Structure 1
Amino acid sequence: MAEPIESITLPPAEHPSQEGKWLQAALQRWLDEEFLPEAVNQNIAQRASQVFVRQRMEGENDLNALVMAILTEMQGFDFSKSFYSEFAIANAVGDLLLASLGIDRCCGN
């Protein structure tokens, strides 16, 4: 039987707004590089960052819970002018956070 994936806990947020600015810039850069730079990418990155900051300010440190919160709240975002979906955004945020912790997203090391 397969073992469940262990949860990853982020360090407690000391400066959530700075984390949010970093995430917004990193996510927009990823969005612009993954396909074509689009004006909507800024709005997507800003909205995902807002959700992330709010969750962190509420004390959420669990990576899975943060990704699920972004996925859930981005379902209300209008992606009609984008190549992306709420799933791509939530996954990208998870990957960016793992990279910031020095964790290889491919193999979990």
Structure 2
Amino acid sequence: MQPIEPKVLPPSQSPQEEAGWLQEALLEWLDTEFLPEPVNQKIAAQAARIYLRQRMEGENDLGALLIAILTEMQAFDFSKSFYSEFAVANAVSDLLLTSLGIDTCCGQS
């Protein structure tokens, strides 16, 4: 069995645009997966802020971005949500992989 190759995002030309896209895409995912709730906007905004900061610091490795979002979202109050920091980090990862044309089901291009 071969180890999974790390996925690296291209260097960001416009991290703020990427974060805006991610916030909108994540909010749509959150609202579609269960119920549209006001807290979903806060979740998406917080995840996008973390992503933006990481990308502005030069982070391109998807695994590192996933861990940063997971770790920092642990401080978020999910008590009014169906979600957790794990669901959010995984959704962000899937959204980013999909945007790169990678099938998140099987990990293939």
In percent, how many aligned pairs have the same letter? 69
User: Could you say what secondary structure the match of 1:3 adopts?
Assistant: coil
Look up the equivalent residue of 2:96 and give its one-letter code: L
User: Could you say what secondary structure the match of 2:5 adopts?
Assistant: coil
Q: CA deviation at 1:108?
A: 1.1
- Partner in structure 2 of residue 42 of structure 1: 41
User: Could you say what secondary structure the match of 2:50 adopts?
Assistant: helix
1:79 partnered with 2:88:
no
Per-residue CA deviation, residues 34-79 of structure 1 (Å, 9 max, x unaligned), is 0000000000000000000000000000000001100000000000
* CA RMSD in angstroms, aligned pairs only: 0.5
User: Could you say what secondary structure the match of 1:28 adopts?
Assistant: helix
Look up the equivalent residue of 2:68 and give its one-letter code: A
Taking the TM superposition and a 5 Å limit, the aligned residue runs for 1:26-65 are 26-65=25-64
Structure 2: give runs of 5+ residues left out of the alignment.
Answer: none
TM-score (ref. length: structure 1): 0.98
Structure 1: give runs of 5+ residues left out of the alignment.
Answer: none
Taking the TM superposition and a 5 Å limit, the aligned residue runs for 1:6-21 are 6-21=5-20
Cα distance in 2 for residues equivalent to 1:106 and 1:31: 19
Number of residue pairs aligned between Structure 1 and Structure 2: 108
User: Could you say what secondary structure the match of 2:79 adopts?
Assistant: coil
Q: CA deviation at 1:83?
A: 0.1
Q: CA deviation at 1:4?
A: 1.7
Q: CA deviation at 1:96?
A: 0.1
User: Could you say what secondary structure the match of 1:36 adopts?
Assistant: coil
User: Could you say what secondary structure the match of 2:76 adopts?
Assistant: coil
Cα distance in 1 for residues equivalent to 2:106 and 2:31: 25
Q: CA deviation at 1:3?
A: 2.3
